[in-house]
Amino acid sequence: MTFQVYDTTLRDGAQREGLSYSVVDKLAVARLLDEFGVGFIEGGWPGAVPKDTEFFRRARKELDLRHAVFAAFGATRRAGVAVDADPQVRGLLDAETPVVTLVAKADLRHVERALRTTPAENLAMIRDTVAHLVRHDRRIFVDGEHFFDGHRHDPAYGAAVVETALAAGAERFVLCDTNGGMLPSQVTAVITDLTARTGVAPELLGMHAQNDTACAVANTIAAVEAGVRHVQGTANGYGERPGNADIFAVVGNLQLKLGLPVLPAGCLEQMVRVSHAIAEIANIVPDTHQAYAGAAAFAHKAGLHASAIKVDPLLYNHVDPSVVGNDMRILVTEMAGRASVELKSRELGLDLAGHPEALSKVTGRVKELEADGWSFEAADASFELLVRSELPGGAAPRPFALESYRVQVEHREDGAVVSEATVKIRVRGERVIATAEGNGPINALDEALRVGLSRHYPELLGFELADYKVRILEGSHGTGAVTRVLVETVDGAGNDWTTVGVHPNVVEASWHALVDALTYGLARTRV
């Protein structure tokens, strides 16, 4: 039986606090999910949420999906209402999707206390709604809400719900851990009991796991190991409360660990791109540490890791990162050894393999500087300048020599605050004095330095300070607090680079980072 990957980013994912997609956002997310190769995209609840109604109307006309089909989500008919008279069910048909997913109560306590109806009427609601939609040529999935909690309370009733839905024509019955409280062993036990009790083939079942015990992905995998062949999840695990099973981790595990080819060929490597693009649309900063898709998912800081990775990257990676579109990165910090420095330098295009002395010196220098508060992890450009300074003939030429700089901040009578900086430098044998104003002391210093250098280095005019981060590092062991500054610079050609400076004085720390930024930028434009 075909394995089904069912995405609910646009319905359950949108139930995440703080997230609100526009219709245009939803269309863009649907395109991305299709590129990732999921089989089903649940677009929302038409009739209940106006935006979702509009989404299905536009998606029909505007989207030409290559892999997925759309599913409209909604509830079974209301208690005591004829199915063809229920406007909510009418709304599901009006969405004109090939698939409809119905949420149905599978826990007797919910039937009695939330629906306030009888066990028999709930079964009739499921039977009538499934049969009605099947008569209208829809493929039906039934999401059995609170199935696992209900099974503990009254397993026979949950089993009757499953049998009723399948007998009425549902294609799959999806077991939902709605409160997200299950553990993998409990999921396995419930599925084993359900299939033994009913004789229902596990291939007819699906799994929908919320992440309240941080086990949603594990619970989904456990369900597949118990025979289930339909999995639900959301991009990056977005969803109500702590979220849903992250579809990227679920699919990564199914394909790469269980050997189930659940996506079309060529789709798995779209994972990182699709994950980050959806985060961008959702306006949520991507989780750096997300399994498989995070920027740090294959980043190695420990020196011992790097020394083994030098022999074979798979000694410290659970899979080849490129299979999900990710990259391995080596981080150089106080935890680096010579192997880390060698691999990181290689990443930057510098070969230290034949220079053991330089390698030891850079490694030692990184450790000393990091102990003083420097951090090279996010400042590749400063690290590269450090490596070059130790390579024979490799030091990046310093574009100027400093005589002095001065910065002043003036609070005027009218309330205006103006910063002004003057730099005195020597550039190619010429003494230059330049002054500039800025909206703050660092901005003024940056401007003054550029003014002073621009005649000799006109390419500087294309550089821009894109980001400036300051962190005060608490003093320890009797030393004072120091300031760490990270500066991100961009040029007109789409390149960006980050440099670092550290000093007890924030202006001096910034100066170091600015000088590295200009030195690095000029060196690369002149290569």
Ligand X SMILES: CC(=O)SCCNC(=O)CCNC(=O)[C@H](O)C(C)(C)COP(=O)(O)OP(=O)(O)OC[C@H]1O[C@@H](n2cnc3c(N)ncnc32)[C@H](O)[C@@H]1OP(=O)(O)O
Contact positions vs ligand X (CB under 6 A): 12, 45, 48-49, 75-76, 78, 103-105, 114-115, 125, 145, 178, 240
One-letter amino acid at 144 equals G
* Binding-residue pattern over the window 184 to 223 for ligand PYR, x denoting contact by CB under 6 A: ------------------------x-x-------------
Q: Which one of ligand X, ligand PYR, none is in contact with 115 (Cβ closer than 5 to 8 A by kind)?
A: ligand X
Nearer to ligand X, 12 or 25 (CB): 12
> In the bound complex, what is the minimum distance in angstroms from residue 25's beta carbon to ligand PYR?
20
Q: Select from 5, 105, 95, 98 the least CA-distant residue to 51.
A: 95
One-letter amino acid at 76 equals T
Nearer to ligand PYR, 151 or 388 (CB): 151
- β-pair partners for 427: 430
Q: Which one of ligand X, ligand PYR, none is in contact with 210 (Cβ closer than 5 to 8 A by kind)?
A: ligand PYR
Q: Which one of ligand PYR, ligand X, none is in contact with 76 (Cβ closer than 5 to 8 A by kind)?
A: ligand X
Site residues for ligand PYR, window 104-133 (CB under 6 A)? none
Q: Does 178 bind ligand PYR (CB under 6 A)?
A: yes
> In the bound complex, what is the minimum distance in angstroms from residue 450's beta carbon to ligand PYR?
55
CA distance 4 to 229: 6
CA distance 453 to 460: 8
Q: Which one of ligand X, ligand PYR, none is in contact with 78 (Cβ closer than 5 to 8 A by kind)?
A: ligand X
**Residue with tokens 């390149």, as numbered in its chain:** 495
> With left for phi above 0 and alpha for psi between -120 and 50, is residue 325 left, alpha or beta?
left
Nearer to ligand X, 13 or 286 (CB): 13
> In the bound complex, what is the minimum distance in angstroms from residue 124's beta carbon to ligand X?
11
Nearer to ligand PYR, 7 or 342 (CB): 7
Q: Which one of ligand PYR, ligand X, none is in contact with 230 (Cβ closer than 5 to 8 A by kind)?
A: none
| 401-411: strand order across its sheet | 401-411, 417-427, 430-438
Q: Which one of ligand X, ligand PYR, none is in contact with 45 (Cβ closer than 5 to 8 A by kind)?
A: ligand X
Q: Does 103 bind ligand PYR (CB under 6 A)?
A: yes
Q: Where are the alpha helices (DSSP H) in 154-242?
A: 155-167, 184-198, 216-225
Nearer to ligand X, 115 or 189 (CB): 115
Q: Does 25 bind ligand PYR (CB under 6 A)?
A: no
Nearer to ligand PYR, 243 or 321 (CB): 243
Q: Per residue in 17-51, is it b (16+ CB within 10 Å) or e — as a string? A: eeeebebebbbbbbbbbbbbbbbbbbbbbbbeeeb
Nearer to ligand X, 121 or 410 (CB): 121
Given a contact cutoff of 8 angstroms between Cβ atoms, the answer to whether 91 and 48 are in contact is yes
Contacts of 428 (CB under 8 A, 6+ apart): 456
DSSP designation for 458:
G
Crossing angle of the two packed helices 119-135 and 155-167, in degrees rounded to 10: 20
> In the bound complex, what is the minimum distance in angstroms from residue 14's beta carbon to ligand X?
9
One-letter amino acid at 176 equals C
Q: Which one of ligand X, ligand PYR, none is in contact with 300 (Cβ closer than 5 to 8 A by kind)?
A: none
> In the bound complex, what is the minimum distance in angstroms from residue 166's beta carbon to ligand X?
17
Q: Select from 428, 409, 407 the least CA-distant residue to 522.
A: 428
> In the bound complex, what is the minimum distance in angstroms from residue 70's beta carbon to ligand X?
17
Query: How would you write 120-139 as a 3-class SS string?
Result: HHHHHHHHHHHHHHHHCCCE
Nearer to ligand PYR, 39 or 294 (CB): 39
> In the bound complex, what is the minimum distance in angstroms from residue 150's beta carbon to ligand X?
13
> In the bound complex, what is the minimum distance in angstroms from residue 464's beta carbon to ligand PYR?
46
Q: Which one of ligand X, ligand PYR, none is in contact with 506 (Cβ closer than 5 to 8 A by kind)?
A: none
> In the bound complex, what is the minimum distance in angstroms from residue 148's beta carbon to ligand PYR?
10
The correct pick among 42, 86, 145, 171 for binding ligand PYR (CB under 6 A) is 145
Q: Does 370 bind ligand PYR (CB under 6 A)?
A: no
Nearer to ligand PYR, 210 or 489 (CB): 210
> In the bound complex, what is the minimum distance in angstroms from residue 78's beta carbon to ligand X?
5
Q: Which one of ligand PYR, ligand X, none is in contact with 208 (Cβ closer than 5 to 8 A by kind)?
A: ligand PYR
DSSP designation for 146:
T
Nearer to ligand X, 231 or 436 (CB): 231
Q: How far is CA 213 from CA 86, 184, 419, in A?
A: 36, 10, 53
Q: Does 12 bind ligand PYR (CB under 6 A)?
A: yes
Q: Which one of ligand PYR, ligand X, none is in contact with 331 (Cβ closer than 5 to 8 A by kind)?
A: none
Nearer to ligand PYR, 231 or 336 (CB): 231
End-to-end CA distance of the chain: 58
Instruction: Concatenate the DSSP letters of all residues of 376-421 into one string.
Output: -TT-HHHHHHHHHHHSTTTPPPPS-EEEEEEEEEEE-TTS-EEEEE
Nearer to ligand X, 176 or 350 (CB): 176
Query: Rg of the chain over CA atoms, in angstroms?
Result: 30
> With left for phi above 0 and alpha for psi between -120 and 50, is residue 524 left, alpha or beta?
alpha
Nearer to ligand PYR, 178 or 275 (CB): 178
Can you read off the two tokens belonging to residue 17?
């606090």
> In the bound complex, what is the minimum distance in angstroms from residue 180's beta carbon to ligand PYR?
8
**Residue with tokens 């030429």, as numbered in its chain:** 397
CA angle 19, 249, 33 (to 5 degrees): 55
List contacts with ligand PYR (CB under 6 A): 12, 103, 143, 145, 176, 178, 208, 210
